[in-house]
Structure 1
Amino acid sequence: MINLQGDNLLFLISQPRAGSTLTQRILGNHPDIYTVSEPWLMLHPLYALRTEGYQAEYWQSLAQMALNDFLQNFPDREEVYFEGIRQMYTYLYSQALASSGKRYFLDKTPRYYLIIPELYRTFPNAKFIILLRNPLAVLYSSVGCGSKENWILLDGIKNDLIRSPTLLLEGIKLLGDRCIVLHYEQLSKNPESEMRKICEWLDIEFLSAMIDYGLDQVPKWRFGDQKTIYQMSKPDVNRIEKWVRGMEDIQIWRLANDYLQWLGQDRINQMGYAYEELAQILEYYRPPRFKLWTTLSLESLIKKREERQKWEYEYQIIRLIRSFQRRGVGGTMVRLTQKVLGIPSNSQEVTQVWEN
């Protein structure tokens, strides 16, 4: 039974594509921990207090105003709402845990990074595992492991890339001893020592067998990693540097370089990674400058969908020119294409590339 303060609740939060499904499988293999596919339970009620960040057909801005007005009737205002959430969702979590007979319920929902303060306020005694991964590896896993040129969909995950690192770092600071920080790379290299730390922190016995979660009895989940997790049965150290090979693609390199520059040295180092080492890897794979103008910047790709029309035409042209380059067509054909399609050779995009 989970009490109202969340003593038996365990939240696993990370950037999506950071190895959270692997971590969840390992933890869920422990006899004291019960988990299911990502619940996403707490996002709906906690976002109801916000004035932006969600949409609903019932006109969410009016709903938020009405909720705020309703809460004005109580001396404690918002605390009444949080108490109501606490009681309802404690009941749901308790029902899930009761059927398992285990001690902890693990809710692995990566996008809880958006609501860490509210989640902590709702369940002050819950425990949080904040999972971090090299952000360039997260970027590559997000855009380089799916279909070709999957990076065109970046606007749909811009929060996962742009907002989550800062929110996770702020969450770590806020939660203090209520959280433990786990790095994907260390979990892959030394799974036993990392899981031993977590088990000690949870006050449960470490079992070496939990590392190999197996394949035969693994349920198929709707959310999380839909590929690798069902092909392997334990952490694979070879996946740590897989992102590096992706830097041979000039568009992926451009996105990674933009992302590294945007995150900056302080944020990268606070996450536990060496900014200079990542910069050196990118420098090694840096494409010739004349090729970079055929790429799109991270900033342009994370724009809202309604703003896409401003650069979709340019994107199609860039695809055409890249197809010429892959077929070994010389610079004359590229320049001719520019001229016919009306692309100025001194456009802002081209100028920026050459200046950089």
Structure 2
Amino acid sequence: MISNHGDHLVFLLSMPRSGSTLLSLMLGSHPEICCPPEPWIVLALAEYLRLGDVRSTPYGREWAEIAAIEFVLKPERIQRGALGKALRMIAETSRLDAITAARQILQTVYQLHLDVSGRSIFVDKTPRYYAVLGMIDKIFPQAKKIVLLRNPLDVFASYKATWEIPRTIFTPEGVSVHARDFCEGLFTLADYIATSRNDLLVLRYEDLANDPESVLRSACEFADINFSPTMLAYYENAALIEEYKRSPVGDPVSSCRPKPTNNRTVNAWEMRLDEADIQVLIDVLGIKIFERLGYGNTVARLRDISVNIPTEEQAFGRRNLLMRSLIDHVHEQPFSIWNNFVSPLKGCQADRAARLEVIQQQQAVLQGVRQSLEISEADRAARLEAIHRQQQELEQLRHSLVVSEADRAARLDAIHRQQQELDRLRQNLEVSEADRAARLDAIHRQQKELDQLHSTYGFLCYRFSQLKKWIYECRKR
């Protein structure tokens, strides 16, 4: 997700006709990258929010307006209802400072494109962003920037061959916005890449044409994603090519007839530009800019073909003259479609403010209710805690009862066994008692018999003693 600082966001910066469409088609063919045709949205917001001095110099305002509206509307065509979020964000910008407003709008619209495309990284490729480089850094300080460079002579050769731009743009009478690209764009990009930065990657069109895979691998590593071979087969991505073909802005040639890369357009200026074309361009640029951009070898070639090399002061003076003529004589129409696009939303702001006041009052009431609920919730939490403790105690008691019940059952079983043993003993005793009674009865009878015998024995003893006494007396006589 694109953050406030610009995570998952990449800006592709370049001069027009520098191969940015080719590179964007390659990047857009990666399964994780969303890279639509030129959005121009930052320039449009700078105009709409009056950021910086964008309005002071022509930059292609009509293209910016059309491209920005197309860029904002595209997600709605893919996913119905997606546009509402962007429009609400635009309507709310009146209460924000300009940079914050731009950040929120851009973050919302960029994220809409990621959401409907299912990708994770958004690439905004708009060549004229050289006019708002500082603004981009302020809005998204952590966004990554890829600067694509090309030999300025080849850039102008492409202007001439593709857009049929004549060399008269470098005269005060024929100056156009395209002259600004050379008078300001080249030098702004040179200043921008002069300092080493972790958020900046510099690529060259010549390297892209000669060894596209190495360049694309560098770009993927810079964006913290893995290289995908589908990037090299960008010309087979029919859906993306069709999207570029339908775009009202951008490169009409390379997107309509995509083909594998080749290096035939490297140093094509030697065949496409005549001596007058080269001379008028060098008169405006000088030669130091070639060295600053890394094309110092071109300077030697220019000397070989006897080009008159101006001093840097002379070239600077010509550039200043052209820029003054551009400001004085080229007048671009102010935004009209964009204002009509968002003005109904602005008209709703008063009604929206009244509704917001009612909402704020309701929120105050809800805040009081919420506080009461929080107190009730605290009391409820305390009660639940007490119930929880009681449940724990009951659980412990139940466990103790279960243990006691098991012990009781064991003891009852032991008592039952002992009862059975006592019953057996009782039965045995009952049997023994009956036998004892019978024996006592027998003993009693025997005792009676013995008593009779004893009485008879006593009588016999008595009679015997009488008999002995009689016998004794008889002997005495």
TM-score by length of 2: 0.52
Structure having the higher helix fraction is: 2
The CA distance in 2 between the partners of 1:173 and 1:279, in whole Å, is 20
Residue 150 of structure 1 and its aligned partner are, at CA, apart by 6.3
CA contact (8 A) 1:32 1:104 kept: yes
The CA distance in 2 between the partners of 1:151 and 1:216, in whole Å, is 38
The CA distance in 2 between the partners of 1:204 and 1:305, in whole Å, is 43
The CA distance in 1 between the partners of 2:165 and 2:112, in whole Å, is 43
* Cα separation, partners in 2 of 1:19 and 1:154, compared to 1, 3 Å: farther
* Cα separation, partners in 2 of 1:175 and 1:286, compared to 1, 3 Å: closer
- Residue 193 of structure 1 is matched in structure 2 by 214
- Residue 278 of structure 2 is matched in structure 1 by 253
Match of 1:96 among 113, 129, 132: 113
Structure 1 SS opposite 2:197: helix
- Residue 186 of structure 2 is matched in structure 1 by 165
CA contact (8 A) 1:246 1:253 kept: no
Cα shift readout 1:281-327 (whole Å, capped 9, x = no counterpart): 33444489xxxxxxxxx76877438669xxxxxxxxxxxxxxxxxxx
* Cα separation, partners in 2 of 1:264 and 1:286, compared to 1, 3 Å: closer
Match of 2:300 among 277, 280, 287: 280
* Cα separation, partners in 2 of 1:304 and 1:121, compared to 1, 3 Å: closer
The CA distance in 1 between the partners of 2:275 and 2:269, in whole Å, is 13
The CA distance in 1 between the partners of 2:98 and 2:327, in whole Å, is 34
- Residue 38 of structure 2 is matched in structure 1 by 38
CA contact (8 A) 2:290 2:299 kept: no
Unaligned runs of 5+ in 1: 57-78, 289-297, 309-356
Cα shift readout 1:9-59 (whole Å, capped 9, x = no counterpart): 111010111111011000001001012111111113335133452589xxx
CA contact (8 A) 1:130 1:179 kept: yes
- Residue 268 of structure 1 is matched in structure 2 by 290
Residue 170 of structure 1 and its aligned partner are, at CA, apart by 2.4
The CA distance in 1 between the partners of 2:196 and 2:113, in whole Å, is 25
Cα shift readout 1:183-242 (whole Å, capped 9, x = no counterpart): 110111111111111111111111223122115601213322211343232322111121
CA RMSD of aligned residues (A): 2.9
The CA distance in 1 between the partners of 2:183 and 2:165, in whole Å, is 22
The CA distance in 2 between the partners of 1:80 and 1:306, in whole Å, is 31
Determine whether 1:226 maps to 2:252.
yes
Structure 2 SS opposite 1:177: coil
Structure 2 SS opposite 1:12: strand
Determine whether 1:176 maps to 2:197.
yes
The CA distance in 2 between the partners of 1:190 and 1:94, in whole Å, is 32
- Residue 318 of structure 1 is matched in structure 2 by none
Q: Within 5 A, what are the aligned runs for 1:1-356?
A: 1-47=1-47, 48-51=50-53, 52-54=55-57, 80-147=97-164, 149=166, 151-152=168-169, 154-173=175-194, 176-215=197-236, 217=238, 218-219=241-242, 220=245, 221-247=247-273, 249-259=274-284, 262-265=285-288, 267-274=289-296, 277-286=297-306, 303-304=325-326
CA contact (8 A) 1:155 1:301 kept: no
- Which letter does structure 2 place at the counterpart of 1:13? L
The CA distance in 2 between the partners of 1:280 and 1:173, in whole Å, is 23
Structure 2 SS opposite 1:232: coil
CA contact (8 A) 1:130 1:181 kept: yes
CA contact (8 A) 1:126 1:178 kept: yes
- Share of identical aligned residues, percent? 30
Rg comparison, structure with higher value: 2
- Residue 322 of structure 1 is matched in structure 2 by none
